[in-house]
Structure 1
Amino acid sequence: MLDGELSEIVDNLRVIGADIADVEVKKALGGLPKSLRETISAFANTAGGIVILGLDEAQGFSATGLIDAAKLAADLGSMCSEDMEPPIRPLVKIHTFEGAQVLVAEIPELDPAQKPCYSRGAGITKGSYIRVGDGDRRLSAYEVQVMLSSRGQPREDEQGVPGVGLDNLDAAGVEALVARLRTSRPYAFKDLDRLAVLRRAKVLVPGDDGKDLVSLAGLLALGDYPQEHFPQLRVSFVHYPTGSGPTSSERFLDNVTLEGPIPVMVRDSLAAIRRNMSRRAVIAGAGRQDVWEYPETALREAVVNALVHRDLSPSARGTQVQIEMYPDRLVIRNAGGLFGPVTIDSLGEEGISSARNATLIKILEDVPLPGETRTVCENRGSGIRSMLDSLRAAGMSPPQFTDKISSFLVAFPNHTLLSEETISWIRSLGERGLTDGQCIALALLRDEGVLDNRTYRDATGVDSRVATGELQDLVARELIVQTGTRRWARYQLAQRHTSVKGRPARADRRPELLAALGDESLSRAELVARTGLSDQTVRRWLKIMRDEGAVELVGDSPKSIHVRYRRTRQEPLFGPESPPSPT
């Protein structure tokens, strides 16, 4: 880490006023803190992080320094290599920061095949931690088991179910699967008889006595009634009348249990959601149209993902997939967090997918939904992208994903971003030339208060470069303010735009800049210092004023950091009462 990066991190911490998810600060005046093993384990098991020793959080992250930084660095390296399992290899460096020595250790995230990282002295169950917010939380025994299962390909779905044979499967579904496999995958199945097809597809697996048993995957995909053997491998749907759950009087608006094989549970889950949804009006081009509260594609993908990617290990078979509908959101929850290399940040990215229940998903590629020709899943890693695309097309916020290792949750906010009232508010800002993405970002900020580059990309479908440029343009227009930089950058509405009532005042910065220039020629940095405006805002208004002929360049090209500006002799082309809207 460079000195400038350290300064940037500390500046962000001072703005936020507390540790953050990937940065932990300790004074460490008395040596390595005892809790440091927990933090190292938590960073290694989550997304990596940075430990800074020699700052005092209680005193605004002031640099208190270290008594013997070199010894502390050696002790930290020894702790990571000798006290942690597997050993951690951090990048450790001593910095001189604000006149004091501080120690910075960059803890890498472990590969899923090596997790969990734990303190050897405490053992794997009591010494494994995960980072939650700005703190370290001990993993439960089940969460440790889930991490251990990610070291390889889980095979629970391939296990034979004792006492379950072909007579426990839907005969028509079995025949349809066999016919489809012989047609769609002739190389593997064309010349096999019926039983051989089912064995190769792992619908049937050998039992301990060598006789065929139906696999758990086969039972869930094609069974007459899988819940006879696994009562909790089902879906519960509850519609609550309030946003906080059941009340003492009217507990539920609807409460149903959905059973059967996975294709039937998908169909019936969607029917239950649809039965409890209402329609709303949205803006579409020059008019309006009535649509369902949630797009069908997004719901189907979320329900399918919950059922096919859930943890099927014995410890998780007592937990059903849960669908909860509230007035302001729809929540779908399943046992088992993300599996393999997939992370919250990589969800929906092309080419990144992983299947906890590979055999189950493979079978369901060739099992249609009841009454449809479409199969349950495609196994192409496109489900999350389809979900995001359908929500974006409906003008809705992206879903909120939460990975808790032991469970995975997707929450759909129930609101349209660009309602008539929101569009009217955006128009009242008086800004011309905003992109569709920028309008969506303003609507998101108005509803949710804060966003980052990732949220912007999910909501708009643009890449990171375009997202950064459009966000910086909103900062330059003084519509939003930025806190933090680089990966810590967060954006909020400028205070003058947070009121939902009345017309917000627009800022015209030309008079300030012309007054600051006077009869001098100044650089952009000097104008920033004199006016107190952000660099983005000064840059934007200088371009506007150059186009109007109010200022001109002196010397270098406008891309040079040394370029200077001066007023022209002609009068500005705008008046003080009603300056034209910048584009």
Structure 2
Amino acid sequence: MADKNHFPGIDTIKFGENISIIQKRSTFENISVLEVYDKAIDVFRDYYQYEVIQGADRQKIEKIPEAAFREAIANALIHRVWDVDSQIRVSMFDERLEIVSPGGLPSGITEEEYLSGKLSVLRNRNLANVFYRLGFVEIFGTGITRIKQLYAEGLIKPDFEISENAIKIVLPIFEKSADLTEDEIVIYKLLSKTILKPISEIAPYAPFGKSKTAKLLKEMCQKGVITVKGNGKGTKYIIR
């Protein structure tokens, strides 16, 4: 908690179209964990929030719910393993944000219990108490549940990956469901908002054949969810 210390912090990276393109990188370390938390939120706002002017009013638009990011980054700081010399990594993409924190689950809790919020085991109790008293987190053990609730109406849900030495939370861009079927949602996840994709780059990753993939793409176009560019073998698809 000291203003100056030797502990690792958070490494934030904004990628371009792929991980070979790094647009900006900022590392916050050797400072108060509260300052690290604040700086991470500032970076998040730079990339995932903007304002729309409507007459005399300004409306803030959140591409990813800030409350979900706050919960995820607080969870990473509170539950990380501090004796491992590794930064919490925040990777920012156009369509998602990933947070990877060092250290798997504390002993005494299963993956199912962690994801369902049935049980909470505090690895850093003092830090958790500080975050709670400052209002950065609500009730101990509810972070993952709150993130899920914030995406209850979202087309694509957050993803949680747990391994022996790390926990990864993926927050997708928030978009409300457009009455897509389960099969259409599968196709939607394979598409991009920034890169045009031909069916040859979509069908191999779908759990059904090329003809059904083409049919689903056509139906999604009719629903106004995706746009078609070109024709014939040059036909490509992109999310609107």
Q: Taking structure 2 as the reference length, what is the TM-score of the superposition?
A: 0.69
Matches within 5 A, 1:176-215: none
Aligned residues: 197
**Structure 1: which 4+ aligned runs deviate by more than 6 Å?**
493-496
Query: In the alignment, what sits opposite 1:459?
Result: none
Distance in 2 separating the partners of 1:364 and 1:415: 26
Task: State the Cα distance separating 1:303 from its structure 2 match.
Answer: 0.4
Query: In the alignment, what sits opposite 2:41?
Result: 270
State which of 303, 306, 313 in structure 1 corresponds to 2:76: 306
State which of 328, 332, 344 in structure 1 corresponds to 2:111: 344
3-state DSSP of counterpart to 2:188: helix
Distance in 2 separating the partners of 1:497 and 1:417: 24
Distance in 1 separating the partners of 2:47 and 2:9: 19
Query: In the alignment, what sits opposite 1:498?
Result: 213
Distance in 2 separating the partners of 1:310 and 1:354: 12
Matching residue's letter, 2:131: L
CA contact (8 A) 2:89 2:101 kept: yes
Task: State the Cα distance separating 1:336 from its structure 2 match.
Answer: 0.2
| Larger strand percent | 2
CA contact (8 A) 2:86 2:102 kept: yes
Query: In the alignment, what sits opposite 2:137?
Result: 377
Tell me, yes or no, if structure 1 residue 261 matches structure 2 residue 28.
no
Structure 1 residue runs of 5 or longer lacking an equivalent are: 1-219, 282-288, 369-374, 427-438, 450-491, 505-583
Matches within 5 A, 1:85-484: 220=1, 223-226=2-5, 229-230=6-7, 233-243=8-18, 245-247=19-21, 252-259=22-29, 260-278=31-49, 291-313=61-83, 316=84, 318-366=85-133, 368=134, 375-393=135-153, 395-414=154-173, 416=175, 418-419=177-178, 423=179, 426=180, 439=181, 441-448=182-189
Task: State the Cα distance separating 1:308 from its structure 2 match.
Answer: 0.9
Matches within 5 A, 1:55-74: none
CA contact (8 A) 1:344 1:401 kept: no
CA contact (8 A) 2:28 2:39 kept: yes
3-state DSSP of counterpart to 1:269: helix
3-state DSSP of counterpart to 2:121: coil
Distance in 2 separating the partners of 1:356 and 1:237: 23
Task: State the Cα distance separating 1:415 from its structure 2 match.
Answer: 5.6
Task: State the Cα distance separating 1:390 from its structure 2 match.
Answer: 0.8
Distance in 2 separating the partners of 1:364 and 1:503: 47
Bigger Rg, structure 1 or 2: 1
3-state DSSP of counterpart to 2:113: coil
Matches within 5 A, 1:508-519: none
CA contact (8 A) 2:71 2:147 kept: yes
3-state DSSP of counterpart to 1:445: helix
3-state DSSP of counterpart to 1:257: strand
Distance in 1 separating the partners of 2:104 and 2:79: 9
- Identity, in percent, stands at 20
Distance in 2 separating the partners of 1:224 and 1:237: 20
Distance in 2 separating the partners of 1:416 and 1:496: 27
Distance in 2 separating the partners of 1:263 and 1:295: 20
CA-to-partner distance for each residue in 1:285-320, whole Å, 9 max, x for gaps?
xxxx9832110111001100111100022xx0x211
